[in-house]
Amino acid sequence: MKIIRSSWLPFLLGIVFIIAILNKAMFSSGEKIKTSPDEKPQWHAPDINLLPETADGDTIRYGRELIVNTSKYFGPHGTIASITNGMNCQNCHVEAGTKAFGNSFSAVASTYPKYRERSGIVESIEFRINDCMQRSLNGKPIDSTSKEMKAMVAYLKWLGKDVKHGEKPYGSNAELPFLTRAADPQQGKTIYGIKCMRCHGSNGEGEIDFDSMGYRYPPLWGNNSYNNAAGLYRISRLAAFIKYNMPFDQTQASPQLSDEEAWDVAAFISSQQRPEKKFPEDWPKIESKPPDYPYGPYSDNFSEQQHKYGPFIPIRNAKEKKSAAIK
């Protein structure tokens, strides 16, 4: 009897072990860390078609229209003013800012006014919109009390009306992990030729849509593109946008580019000529410049070249070491 029992012991232990593992797997399935974009709870914009036919509804609709067809109103042949490069807000804020990982506007109403390191002040939504007017649209700011500004702000507030104060829905910003090497514009040029040129053109010039007065395919560099003070000029912003949104005829659930390809093609685009505009008031605290901000002075000893293309990990590590030392 004893002999039988002791020979069962390993069996019994084995079964207990298996039960424990199964149990753990079942328990943790509810809180498993989800990694791919399509698995997480998605934010959905309110339905524009359900807006009432009221004056407020009209204002919101007009705000959306300005974001979708910006060029028609403010482009080189704009009906209100001729103060921008002809791009539409929607060229970068995909589907009027409702698409997760497409520079979505989902966190605007919930987080503004907010302090931003670039300006060193608490920014209003109006201030932030005029930032994109001057940098991304390489244009002039509009009056913050104008009908157009009020309409865009109304649209953004309406979009984020169900997001709790201070919350940032999943997909409100996109990040890619840093590469261990510098991003490579040469490699990026090859990728550009294969995956981007068919729409954005051999000189990154895009293609005008004469019917809508905007671009069918917006320019990626050259005189009609965003300027060097725009968010997309930083290659971390550009690489993440490209990864999740380009080529445009793909879905975000199945990106076509690897992270490396996205970084390299971003490096190529950022190495090309574009409008230059200076904002000497930017980054009042130089130690708050992000690792991939390509203009000095810096609070570290890395070159502008490394701050533009990487490798960024040593820069980030040095920064973390420094701030730990201060604490």
Nearest-angstrom CA–CA distance, 154 and 171: 22
- 159 near ligand HEC, rule: CB under 6 A: no
CB nearer ligand HEC, residue 23 or residue 251? 251
Smallest separation, CB 72 to ligand HEC (Å): 12
Nearest-angstrom CA–CA distance, 109 and 78: 28
CB nearer ligand HEC, residue 237 or residue 319? 237
Per CB under 6 A, the list member of 83, 137, 229, 240 interacting with ligand HEC is 137
Number of residues forming the site for ligand HEC (CB under 6 A): 44
- 154 near ligand HEC, rule: CB under 6 A: no
Structure tokens at 265: 């093609």
Cβ proximity of 86 and 205 under 8 Å: no
Nearest-angstrom CA–CA distance, 210 and 68: 15
Q: Tell me how crowded residue 53 is: count the other CB atoms within 10 A of its CB.
A: 7
CB nearer ligand HEC, residue 78 or residue 311? 78
Nearest-angstrom CA–CA distance, 305 and 36: 32
Smallest separation, CB 33 to ligand HEC (Å): 24
Cβ proximity of 311 and 178 under 8 Å: yes
- 194-253: contacts with ligand HEC (CB under 6 A): 195-196, 198-200, 217-220, 226, 230-232, 237-238, 241-242, 246-249
- 65-104: contacts with ligand HEC (CB under 6 A): 67, 70, 87-94, 103
Smallest separation, CB 194 to ligand HEC (Å): 8
Query: Partners of 214 in the beta sheet?
Result: 209
- 109 near ligand HEC, rule: CB under 6 A: no
Cβ neighbours for 297, distance < 8 A, ≥ 6 positions apart: 286
- 138 near ligand HEC, rule: CB under 6 A: no
Question: Cis peptide before 37, with omega less than 30 degrees from 0?
Answer: no
Residue type for position 62: Y
- 174 near ligand HEC, rule: CB under 6 A: no
Distance of CA 82 to the CA centre of its chain: 27
Residue ranges in contact with ligand HEC by CB under 6 A: 67, 70, 87-94, 103, 107-108, 125, 128-129, 132-133, 136-137, 152, 195-196, 198-200, 217-220, 226, 230-232, 237-238, 241-242, 246-249, 257, 265
